[in-house]
Structure formats: structure tokens, C-alpha cells
Structure 1
Amino acid sequence: MAETADRVDLGGSLRALRRRADLSQRELADLAGVPQATLARIESGRSGDVRFRTIERLVRAAGGRVAIGIPGAQASDHSCDRASDLAGEDRVPEVVPVPRVPHDGLRDEAGRRYPAHLDAWEVHGPRDWPGAWWAGWWNLPPQHWPRRLPAAAYELSRERRDRRRWGERIRREVTVRRVTDDGLPGTCRRFVAELPDGRLLGELRAHERNPRLLYGDLIDAGEREIVLDGVLVAGPYRLLGIGRRLVEALTVEMEQAGIRVAHAVADFGGVDLLLACGYRIDGRGHYAMRLDRSWLDPALLSGPAPA
């Protein structure tokens, strides 16, 4: 736990630490051996001078540490070396502030904060509230809703919270780039989505074609088109928006290259992905084709009969 302001927001820091550790007030109080009422008063700002040992026990139980320093002060090289020698380390570790609880500004109907360790969000419509499954399935108008929508919703399941936070971290860390050093011709495009450690999460491939080969002289000689060969995202990382970012990267590349039209053949979830990225169903009889050699007559695979 660290603050750079003149006054430490103790309650906010403890709430942030509880969120990071995914602990309720009762769970943290039990781990630290502190009464829950004491923790509640500290977090609400209603507690006066709190004993240092109480704060230290709460912070350590939440997985943090208490650091004391002089913000903005620059020590001399000699003093830094001396401090490192005393600490038995090569250098003094940097103190990183804990990110604030993102929903700390939300309040329920009684004016209370939502539990810091949960994920809470504002409800603007049925899509924002998991309890409104009926509105999503039956498209009920508001006058027929069986329940009034709450001001906010939150996730109680720790498993789904972990999955949600993991997905948010992946979205923040993943980057999309065009690969230009893999020996592909200049008319081909390859984009990859990867994490900072180089782990490949998704890939898009596309190639240019000359529309005059299809339409003859009806098309301007300078016209170019892109054919989307495929978009692939690793199974655990689907539904995180990675495929959409890959398609959007290709769209930006088309804009920069002056290419106006792109074509694609898609099925199942790929249709929804491309529709979300601005594509439309052409309606001219495109089909996704597949061959499996097990379907063929073995006689066909043996080659032509000798003359």
C-alpha cells in the first residue's frame, strides 16, 4: 500500500487491496485477526486514529505491504548505496500504488458502496443485468418486464469474476501487428495478435486479387480488392474481441493502401464477427466448401487404370 498524496486515503487503499485479493470484509478481518466492525469503520472513513499494527495486519493479510518513504526526495549515490547495504539488496525496491476499485463511485439505493472485492457495473438496460435473461430471450418491451432493473449489478461467482478479470487483462495486454518479414508476397496480408511474452493468440490472413479477372473491362484497371482468407483465434481467448481487432487492423490497412472492397466467406460465429466489423451478406451464392478424402470412392484415389 502506498500513496503519493499528502494524506493517505486509508479506506480506499484497503478496499483496493481487498479487491485485488478478492476478499470480503469478513474474510479479510478474519485473516488479519481484526474485528469486522473495525475494518468497516476504517474503510468508511468513520474511524479516528487507527493503530499502526492494526493497519499493518490488515494490509499484510490482503497481500500488500506498508512502505514508509519521502515522496519526491532524491538521495545521494552514497546514501543509496548505504541503504542498499543495510537492506542486503542491490537496490531499494520501488513502491507501486494499488489500482483503485473501479466501481468505488457507485452506490446502492441506501447510499452504500458495493462490496469492493466484487465486480459491479451500472445497469442501463436488460443486457447489463444477468438477471434479465427474460428480456434478452423474448424481447419484451419495458411495460411487460416482470421486474424493475436495478441501478447496478455485480458478479457473485468467484470463478466468473476470475474469468472476467482475466479477460480484461488479456484485452489490455494483447497487441495486433502486421507481419512483413515472413516471405509473403506484397499482395498478401498477415496480421497476428500476441501477448508481450510473444504468445500467439490469433491470426488473420488475406490476399489481393485483380477484379478485372472476374469482371473484365467493366472494372477500372487500377481497382484492387482484398479476399479474407481466414481469421483464427485460440480457443481459450475467443469472445474477447481479438478477432474483431484483427479484422479492424485489415480495414485500416485497406484504407491506407486505397483498397475499397473486401470479400469473405464465413459461417457460424464468423458471420456475426464480420457483421460487427461492417461487412454485409452479399447474397450472391457463396458457400463454404470442404473436402474429406474418406468420403471418396477408393477407386478414385488409386489413380487412372493403366492403358
Structure 2
Amino acid sequence: MAADKGAIDVGATLRDLRRRADLSQRELAEQSGIPKSTLARIEAGQGAGPAFRTVERLVRAAGGELVLKLPDASSAAAVDESPQAPDHELRDELRDELRDELRDELRDEAGRRYPAHLDVRRVLTLKDWPGAWWVHSYTLPQRLWPVRVPELTYDLDRTRRDTRRLREQARAQVRYRRVFEGLPSTSWHFLAELPGAGPVGELRAHERSLDLLLGEDWGDRRELVLEGVVVAPGLRTLGIARQLIELLASEMAVADIRTVHAIADGGNVLFLLACGFELQASRPSALTLEVRPTRPWLSAAPGPPP
């Protein structure tokens, strides 16, 4: 936590740091030795400004570091000339601010603010509520719901909270690109990557020759065959696979390729339909060839010739 950008909201900063550390007010008070009532007043912005030593103990107990910087003349003069942050960083910062404001607005039926570390969220569909274990498909009409569904929910289990936060962070940071190195011109390879973690998803496709397939000259018309789309198990349902297909479609438009074919089964069919694919009346048959293993010792046994 740094104080080099002017006055800061100590209460809001401590509340955000405590949420990142997944600590309740009671837990942070116990670890820092600061009374819980004092911590609650600081986060609520009540009373006089807290002592520096108090803030330092709270920050360190939450796993943070308090840094003070005194601006000099050269740094103050260079402030207006510093380059602006990239657009995606500004968007991420704005999204975090809006999420913090929304979190402050969410209160229980008694008007109390929810603990910051619980990441309270609105229940828009049954899928948003962990308590909807009784309707796995989330398709039950509201009039048939056996229990009252709350407007707000949160995860009490820390492992579940950490998993949700990691998934949200991954969705915001994942980057997409097409790979050309070491591939023939007819190969299409796209990657979804996380900075510092490497690939977390990929899409592969290849061009096929209509002249060889249909036995006649089709000129310059080109088509693709989708080989597969895979995403790391912990990051599925975040829209990564859909983004890869959208990137493929945009590259096809640039290359003036109109068609891509795919073969799928089960839930993959529904996914491709949601991405704009259409079912075809004709489809290839699934065939299997099984080869029996060779056992040389059988040939050594005496017997009549075949």
C-alpha cells in the first residue's frame, strides 16, 4: 500500500486488502492485536484518523506492506509528462472500482454491510446460487422451486472463494493469438495464454482440398476442418473456447474463407451450435478398426498347414 498518489481512503484500502487476504474483521483483529471495534471504525471511516502504527500493524497482519514515498522536485515535475496506462489496464481498474462500489451497496435485510472477504454477488439465475444443488440442470421453472432463492449469495468455503477469484482473474488476463511458427500454410493454430502461466487453451484446424474431395476443379474456394478446441479443466465455462472460435472466424474473414466443418458429440454439439455452427443433414459414419495382437509363439506349435 503506497501513499505516493495523494490522499487515500484508509478504510476502503484496508477492507480491500483484508478481502484479498480472505480474512474477516475478527480474524484480522486477532492476528494484528488491534481491537475489532477499532478496525470496524477505521473501515467505516468513523472517528479521527487512525494512528500510523495501528494502520501498519493491520496492513502487515493482512499480508501487505506499507510504503511511504516523499516526492522530490524532479518527480513532481515529471508527473504530467508520464505516459498513460494502456487502455486494458484502465478498463481493469475501472471494473475493480465499480465492483468495490457494488460490494459496498450490497447489504443484508437488516441494512448491514456484508463482510468484504465473502465476495457477495447477486443471484440472477439458479446457477449463481450454490444452494441450488436440488436442480442440477438449472431449468426448473420458478413456480416449481421448492425453496426460496435469495437475492444475494456468497461462498463460505475459502477454497471455493479462492477458485472463483482465480477464475475471474484468469478471464480478465487471458490473451489470444495465432501461431505461425513451424506450421505449414494450411494449418491454423490459435492459443489462449495467461501471462506467466503459458497456454490454457488452444484451437487447431486445417484446410482441405475440395478438388481432391469432390473430384473437380473448385477454383480458389477454400474450406477448413476444425480439429479440436481444448481448455484447461479449471478454466472451462469462462468463454475461452468461444473467444478462440471467434478469433478463428475473424481470421477466416480476412483470408476470404467462408466455411469451417466440425464433428462433435454430446455437449460439444451444443457448444458449437451456441457459437454459430449449424447441423448438417449428412454426416460421416463412425468406424473402428481393431487389429489383433500378433503372438509369434503360436507358429512354433506343430500342426497341419493351413
Which TM-score band (shorter chain)?
Answer: 0.7 to 0.9
Answering whether residue 125 of structure 2 is matched by residue 130 of structure 1, we say: no
1:248 corresponds in structure 2 to 246
* Cα separation, 2, equivalents of 1:252 and 1:138: 33
* Cα separation, 2, equivalents of 1:143 and 1:72: 66
* Cα separation, 1, equivalents of 2:153 and 2:279: 36
SS of residue matched to 1:150: coil
Q: Percent identity of the aligned residues?
A: 50
Q: Which amino acid aligns with 2:149?
A: L
Greater shift after overlay, 232-241 or 119-128?
232-241
| TM-aligned CA deviation for residue 26 of structure 1 | 0.6
Matches within 5 A, 1:197-216: 197=196, 199-211=198-210, 213-214=212-213
Answering whether residue 16 of structure 2 is matched by residue 16 of structure 1, we say: yes
* Cα separation, 1, equivalents of 2:213 and 2:275: 25
2:183 corresponds in structure 1 to 183
Matches within 5 A, 1:98-177: 102=100, 103-137=103-137, 139-177=139-177
* Cα separation, 1, equivalents of 2:23 and 2:41: 17
SS of residue matched to 1:74: helix
Superposed CA offset, 1:230-285 (max 9, x none):
22334444444332222221111112222221101123443343233222332423
| TM-aligned CA deviation for residue 4 of structure 1 | 5.9
Q: Which amino acid aligns with 2:206?
A: H
Superposed CA offset, 1:98-124 (max 9, x none):
x66643332223332221112221122
In structure 2, relative to structure 1, the CA distance for the partners of 1:75 and 1:210 (3 Å cut) is: closer
2:64 corresponds in structure 1 to 64
Q: How many residues align?
A: 276
Paired residues of 2:191 and 2:199 also in contact (CA < 8 A): yes
Paired residues of 1:178 and 1:192 also in contact (CA < 8 A): yes
* Cα separation, 2, equivalents of 1:252 and 1:44: 49
Greater shift after overlay, 140-149 or 58-67?
140-149
* Cα separation, 1, equivalents of 2:154 and 2:72: 39
Answering whether residue 292 of structure 2 is matched by residue 297 of structure 1, we say: yes
Q: Which amino acid aligns with 2:178?
A: R
SS of residue matched to 2:116: coil
| TM-aligned CA deviation for residue 189 of structure 1 | 0.8
Matches within 5 A, 1:249-288: 249-287=247-285
Q: Pick from 211, 225, 248: which aligns with 2:223?
A: 225
Superposed CA offset, 1:50-71 (max 9, x none):
2222111111111122233346
1:192 corresponds in structure 2 to 191
| TM-aligned CA deviation for residue 300 of structure 1 | 11
In structure 2, relative to structure 1, the CA distance for the partners of 1:71 and 1:119 (3 Å cut) is: farther
Paired residues of 1:108 and 1:151 also in contact (CA < 8 A): no
Paired residues of 2:205 and 2:224 also in contact (CA < 8 A): yes
* Cα separation, 1, equivalents of 2:287 and 2:189: 22
- TM-score where L is the length of structure 2: 0.77
Paired residues of 1:243 and 1:273 also in contact (CA < 8 A): no
Paired residues of 1:193 and 1:202 also in contact (CA < 8 A): yes
* Cα separation, 1, equivalents of 2:233 and 2:222: 33
In structure 2, relative to structure 1, the CA distance for the partners of 1:201 and 1:140 (3 Å cut) is: closer
In structure 2, relative to structure 1, the CA distance for the partners of 1:290 and 1:7 (3 Å cut) is: farther
In structure 2, relative to structure 1, the CA distance for the partners of 1:125 and 1:171 (3 Å cut) is: closer
Q: Which amino acid aligns with 1:282?
A: Q
Greater shift after overlay, 38-47 or 190-199?
190-199
In structure 2, relative to structure 1, the CA distance for the partners of 1:4 and 1:277 (3 Å cut) is: farther
